[in-house]
Structure 1
Amino acid sequence: MSNQAVANRYAVALFQLAQSKGTLEKTGEELEIIQSVIKSTPELVKTINHPKVTLVTKKELVRKSFSGQVGADVLHTLLLLLERQRFSIVSDLSKAFTKLHHDLLNIADAMVYSAKPLTDEELKQVELVFAPKAGKSRLIATNKVDKELVGGVKIRIGDRIYDGSIKGQLNRLERNLLAGNR
């Protein structure tokens, strides 16, 4: 079974547990904390993945690293992943959990490509305009600068792309001219 499929199963189980306890927000925040700790301390991951480090030592390291920062359910999930030699899926599990939570709240992530960095106000405007078009109650927009766009914006929401960039308009114009359309 692929790591993504395994991560999805753990995410669904943790999501259902958090939903039944009413701790969805808290659990999501705890998973984000874990992700940031893992990204900022590669030594932790190296130690956990090292074959000569015993399981008991790995569990103690995880307990010391995360106790007080995460709740019992998330800590238990981490320890379970260690026992089953699946700690490498923590990042995928966190992303899957976030997706489940966003689906429940009817929220989508949007990647906004632009030729220059957008202000927070411009991103908020994109969120307000495109949330109804995507059929979502809210968007969480992230800006990424793409110098090839020349101007305008290109927005990706899930598998949909809204291309209002100058480059996109020029490409459409070229296709129409080559096809003989106006």
Structure 2
Amino acid sequence: MSQQTIAHNYALALFEASQDAGISELIREETLFLYDSFKSAMSLIDHLASPGFSQEKRLRIMERALGDTVSEMTRNFILLILKHRRQNLLLLILEELDKIFDQNKRIIRAKLTSAVELDSIQRQNLQSKLEKKTGCTLDIEYEIDPGLIAGFTLVYGDTMFDCSTASALNKFSNTLKSLRYDWQE
């Protein structure tokens, strides 16, 4: 089984348990906090994966690190990951959990790259049109790339829209290159 599949299965289990218990928003907040904390303290995760630590010591360290900052469900979930020796997948599991929460709330994370900075009205209009088209709420990360010349690219999930002048010029150039003219007639 791939690491992605394993991570998804763990994440789905916590998501479903949190839904059943009616505390999904709390679990989401806690796991986002833990993701940021673990990501900034990768040395802790690396140490936990070290063969020099016994299983009991790993669990004690994590219990102390968690303290009273998270609910019993989140604490038990993190400890279960350690008990199953999946600490190397901890961040991936938390990323998968975030994706599952987004899917459940019909939220799509997107990246929009434009040639120039969009003002708030342009952003609002674009977001409204895209939300209407997708039927989902979009969480858009904006970026500027003058190399696009004009227009924008939008990436979300497996989908990419390229509405940039640079792309159109590139396609036109490739079309011209592919044409063969017999100028000697």
TM-score normalised over the length of structure 2? 0.85
Deviation per CA, 1:16-46: give whole Å up to 9, x if none.
Answer: 0011112222111111111111121122122
Query: Greater Rg, structure 1 or structure 2?
Result: 2
Letter in 2 for 1:159: D
Superposition deviation, residue 178 in structure 1: 5.1
CA distance in 2, matches of 1:48, 1:116: 45
Aligned to 1:39: 39
Aligned to 2:84: 84
Counting only pairs closer than 5 Å after superposition, residues 119-158 of structure 1 correspond to structure 2 as: 122-133=122-133, 135-158=134-157
Letter in 1 for 2:141: T
Aligned to 2:63: 63
Aligned to 2:183: none
Distance 1:57 1:125, change over 3 A: farther
CA distance in 1, matches of 2:162, 2:57: 52
**C-alpha contact 1:153 1:163 (8 A) present in aligned 2:** yes
Structure 1 residue matching 2:111: 3-state secondary structure: strand
Aligned to 1:25: 25
Structure 1 stretch 151-160 or stretch 7-16: which is displaced more? Answer: 151-160
CA distance in 1, matches of 2:158, 2:63: 39
C-alpha RMSD over aligned residues: 2.2
Q: Which runs of 5+ in 2 are unaligned?
A: 180-185
CA distance in 1, matches of 2:154, 2:10: 31
Aligned to 2:167: 168
Distance 1:59 1:118, change over 3 A: farther
Superposition deviation, residue 87 in structure 1: 1.1
TM-score normalised over the length of structure 1? 0.86
Note if 1:51 corresponds to 2:14.
no
CA distance in 1, matches of 2:102, 2:153: 22
Structure 2 residue matching 1:163: 3-state secondary structure: strand
Aligned to 1:5: 5
Q: Which runs of 5+ in 1 are unaligned?
A: none
Structure 1 stretch 79-88 or stretch 147-156: which is displaced more? Answer: 147-156
